[in-house]
Structure 1
Amino acid sequence: MEWVKMKECAREFMVGVAEMTVELGKGCRDIVKQSLVNEDSYIVKTFGRDSYIGKRVRGPCAKLFAKLSFFNEYLPEDKDPLHAWSVILFVFVLAFLALYVNFERDPYAPPVKQVFMHPPCASRVVLPDGRFMAYKEQGVSSQQARFSIIAPHSFLSSRLAGIPGVKDSLLEEFGIRLLTYDLPGFGESDPHPKRNLESSATDMASLADALGVNKFWVVGYSSGSMHAWAALRYIPDRLAGAAMFAPMVNPYDPMMTKEERRRTWNKWTRRRKFLYFLARRFPRFLAFFYQRSFLSGKHGQIDRWLSLSLGRRDKALMEDPIYEEFWQRDVEESIRQRNVKPFVEEAALQVTNWGFSLSDLKLQKRKQSSDFFSWIKSMFTETQEYTGFLGPIHIWQGMDDKVVPPSMTDFVHRVLPGAAVHKLPYEGHFTYIYFCHECHRQIFTTLFGTPQGPLSISIEVDQATLKTNIEQEVVNDGDYASN
């Protein structure tokens, strides 16, 4: 009996609350009408029927409502269309939000993998300015190396990338010493207070000096190519050659024609274009997007994080468990320091003034000075002086690449006609260089020719010293026998 009374009291209480809520809503509606919708209010003057905006919008809205008026035939006769459609719209919004929440919290969806911070394990060298640079070494030793390669990594990557999936046996077959390193602020490398592309080339040369490398090949992939371009510009005497894979250039380069720029930008998503705009004009705002994507502490997909549009083969590669494991480990190392500043700097470097032009790398005769002494010197000097990069430049470009479109390579080849371009039909941005043993063999064969293996370590002995030592041993043996 008491339970029934309590139930009736609760019902009456809820009815009272509902009636009070309705009256409160009506009161709020009246207040809004009296304060905001009267003839003297700002809203009515600006957006009312007699306002400029109201007159401009009235005609198109009337035509639209006339076309949609046939929906009113499906409403009950005693219902006001305006009231009925407002209720229907409200219910539709609630249903959409409910579906969205259920989709976001799908109990059957796989759990999001958290980023794991591995203990430090990199080898490091001290640069001339006191900073530490982390690096990784693969292939043969420095004494056995026929060829040395230094590969700066791309955006959201680390020294662990290098040439993804390259086998040590293949490096040994060609006698290659492969060196990769973390850019400043990435992985286990210390940040640079005033980083630019010239300092990037200087860091590369300092790493080579610290590891006993004289001449080396530089390998640039995707956005990491801008560091390779910088090496060609600022330390050309240290380079034996350059190998570029889908090389990224500044999309705002003033030397690009309208057609080249159009073909490049049309391949990108709107969000990626917006991020490039922010990187060029308001780079600090990029921190907001980065902290909610790859710096959020959770793993995700690279195409969503960086707003990339991918081809069919690239999408298939990303579904490979081997690639997924490699990619996640590389990202974990890249964001080890949890500092957004290096990523913002890297993005801004890509789209701002590089400090040089690709045309500076073009091999051309040095212009003679107009003074008298230079003219006299040219009369007695037979050799011609050249500017630009004297070594070979090889570029591999996937024709189905939508991250770095082929139009960028066409632009590079127009500016640097001496570069050898290898166009790859049906290949995307990742498929040729990632985990493709035969592709790696083709690349090394193109660069270095027939594999000859590592250098043999030979010990040179002075023949005179050897003869003296033998004679001394004979004398000692004779003395020992006589005793």
Structure 2
Amino acid sequence: MAVPPARRVSAASARAHTRKQKQRNSIFSPGLIRKILAVLLVGLAAWFYQSIQPPAPKICGTLNGPPVTSPRIKLKDGRHLAYLESGVPKEKAKYQIVFIHGLDCTKSNVFPFSLEVLEELGVHVLSFDRPGYGESDPNLHQTVKSIALDVEELADQLKLGPKFHVIGFSLGGQLVWSCLKYIPHRLAGAAIIAPIANYWWHNLPANLSKETFAQQPPRDQWALRVAHYAPWLTYWWNTQKWFPASSVLAHRSDHLDAKDKEILLSVGNRYSEQVRQQGDFASVHQDLIISYQKWEFDPMDLRNPFPANEGSVHLWHGARDIIAPVALTRYFAEQLPWIYYHELPDAGHLFPLADDMSDAILKALLA
């Protein structure tokens, strides 16, 4: 006998009901699995967000922060800059020089100018801890422009006069470009020493950028890519243990020329404990971001700040520099004929620290 249609529908409904009941009773029901996955994803996202957040800096002079032992000025925005003066007294000086230190250094890592030359030429040297280094307050919102303005305000508060010279080394040399861009009216001259280049400056030929970038160790290439494309990951990338981070920040010596290694052994760094005492992110990580982010200008956009030869810009580089490939500096020297270019064929990155080299740089700048 055929089952009436109504009975067939009823049986199907019963089977569906039984199936749903089993799913509800099962610990692996689709609904529960979706909830578990959602919780795991939220937890993973929270963990990752926390892991990429740098710890708060230990600001000098605050509770649990390092002590303040150097003279400092207070900037308009409330931050402090620590400084160091050397050479002849500024009131008697013929030349005022502001020195900009490089990556992983402090104001004490100024070039070893001889006192005899400083006195002979009448030079007063002012070096300072860049934001986040040594005893200068961090500036987690700093830009290439803000650093140039810090230099100007420092010079004003310490009464260096309407014009002064700037000397910058390595990453500090790169920042001299920003002084030439934003405060050229305050400069009497400038020396850019072994400057780091931003491989993403828009006026660099693509083939030259690619070629010189490829000369960097793979671990450094990745660290620079992160600083440029995902700066918010810079702290995590250079502190995680899964991939090799920046060799420079890890103090590896494989990025140094043989002569650089000799110089490093001879001079050492007595101030290494002070460099990052406020935190790695506030100092060296910020440097990577500033150096390799998208700049508002390119050095190739600059015009001669001394059209009447009332001052001069000098660019120095060692041909055996591994940290900052010399090919990029050569290109800038070729394209900016108003710059006096000095290339040392047998020198690496640390050549200014060799005997008498810093005095030669100083004499050339002030000649």
Does 2:77 correspond to 1:157? no
Aligned to 2:12: none
Structure 1 pair 271–307 and aligned structure 2 pair: CA distance change class (3 A): farther
Q: Does the 8 A contact of 2:248 with 2:255 survive in 1?
A: no
Q: Comparing both structures, which one devotes a greater share of its residues to helix?
A: 1
Give 1:441's aligned residue.
359
Residue aligned with 1:199, SS = helix
Per the TM alignment, residue 338 of structure 1 is displaced from its structure 2 partner at its CA by: 2.3
**2:319 matched to which residue of 1?**
399
Q: Is the 8 A contact 2:114 2:359 kept in 1?
A: no
Does residue 187 of structure 2 align to residue 239 of structure 1?
yes
Which residue identity lines up with residue 204 of structure 1 in the other structure?
V
Q: 2:304 aligns to what?
A: 363
CA 1:160–1:286: 2 relative to 1, 3 Å: same
- Equivalent in 271, 285, 291 of residue 233 of structure 2: 285
Amino acid at match of 1:347: L
Q: What SS does the aligned partner of 2:271 have? A: helix
How many angstroms does 1:261 deviate by?
Answer: 1.5
State the shift of 1:157 in Å.
1.0
Distance 2:91 2:282 in 1: 38
- Is it true that 1:310 corresponds to 2:256 in the alignment? yes
What secondary structure does 2:225 align onto?
helix
Residue in structure 1 matched with residue 86 of structure 2 by the alignment: 138
Shift of 1:391: 3.7
Shift of 1:188: 0.7
Q: Residue 130 of structure 1: CA displacement? A: 1.9
Q: 1:428 to 1:200 in 2, by over 3 A?
A: same
Hey, which bits of structure 1, 4+ residues long, moved more than 6 A?
386-390
Aligned to 2:93, the other structure's residue is in SS state coil
Equivalent residue letter for 1:429: H
- Tell me by how many angstroms 1:388 deviates: 12
| Mapped contact 1:197–1:227 kept (Cα < 8 A) | yes
Tell me the CA shift for residue 273 of structure 1.
0.5
Quote how far apart the aligned CAs of 1:120 are: 3.3
TM-score (norm 1): 0.57
Q: Which moved more, 1:338-347 or 1:415-424?
A: 338-347
After superposition, the Cα gap between the structure-2 partners of 1:339 and 1:257, relative to the gap in structure 1 and judged at 3 Å, is: closer
Equivalences for residues 145-224 of structure 1 within 5 A: 145-163=93-111, 165-214=112-161, 215-224=163-172
User: What residue in structure 1 maps to residue 330 of structure 2?
Assistant: 410
- Deviation for aligned residue 1:166: 2.4
Q: What is the rounded CA distance, in whole Å, between the counterparts of 1:122 and 1:166 in structure 2?
A: 21
In 2, the alpha carbon distance for the partners of 1:179 and 1:292 equals: 37
Contact 1:360 1:388 in 2 (8 A): no
Aligned pairs for 1:35-434 within 5 A: 120-163=68-111, 165-214=112-161, 215-291=163-239, 304-305=250-251, 309-320=255-266, 323-324=267-268, 327=269, 329-363=270-304, 391-430=311-350, 432-434=351-353
Separation in 2, partners of 1:358, 1:160: 28
Against the structure 1 CA distance between its residues 244 and 254, is the aligned structure 2 distance closer, same or farther, given a 3 Å change threshold? same
Structure 2 counterpart of 1:316, one-letter code? E
- Residue pair 1:358, 1:416 contacting (<8 A) in 2 also: no
**Partners in 2 of 1:253 and 1:306 — Cα distance?**
27
Percent of residue pairs bearing the same amino acid type: 29
| Distance apart, 1:314 and its partner CA | 1.1
Question: Distance between the aligned counterparts of 2:308 and 2:94, measured in 1?
Answer: 25
**Does the 8 Å contact 1:303/1:310 carry over to 2?**
no
The amino acid of 1:124's aligned partner reads R
C-alpha distance 183-412 of structure 1, shift in aligned 2 (>3 A): same
CA distance in 2, matches of 1:220, 1:336: 22
Match for residue 19 of structure 2? none
| CA shift in 2, pair 1:409/1:339, >3 Å | closer
CA drift of 1:231 comes to 0.8
Q: State the distance in 2 between where 1:188 and 1:341 align.
A: 12
Q: Which amino acid is 1:134 matched to? A: A
Secondary structure of the residue aligned to 2:352 is coil
Measure how far apart 1:393 and its partner are: 0.9
Query: d(CA) in 2 for partners of 1:229 and 1:349?
Result: 13
Computing the radius of gyration over CA atoms, which structure comes out larger, 1 or 2? 1
Helix, strand or coil at the partner of 2:287? helix
Find the residue that maps to 1:138 and give its secondary structure: strand
**Aligned equivalents of 1:225, 1:444: Cα separation in 2:** 14
SS of residue paired to 1:229? helix
Q: Quote how far apart the aligned CAs of 1:194 are.
A: 1.9
- 1:250-287 per-residue CA deviation (whole Å, 9 max, x = no partner) reads 11112111332244223211111111011112223332
TM-score (structure 2 length as normaliser) = 0.74
Q: Distance in 2 between matches of 1:230 and 1:256?
A: 17
Q: Unaligned regions of 5+ residues in structure 2, if any?
A: 1-64, 242-246
> Secondary structure of the residue that 1:154 maps to in structure 2?
coil
Displacement of 1:292? 7.0
Write the letter of the residue equivalent to 2:301: D
Question: For structure 1, which runs of at least 5 residues remain unmatched after alignment?
Answer: 1-116, 294-300, 365-385, 450-483
Alignment RMSD (CA, Å):
2.6
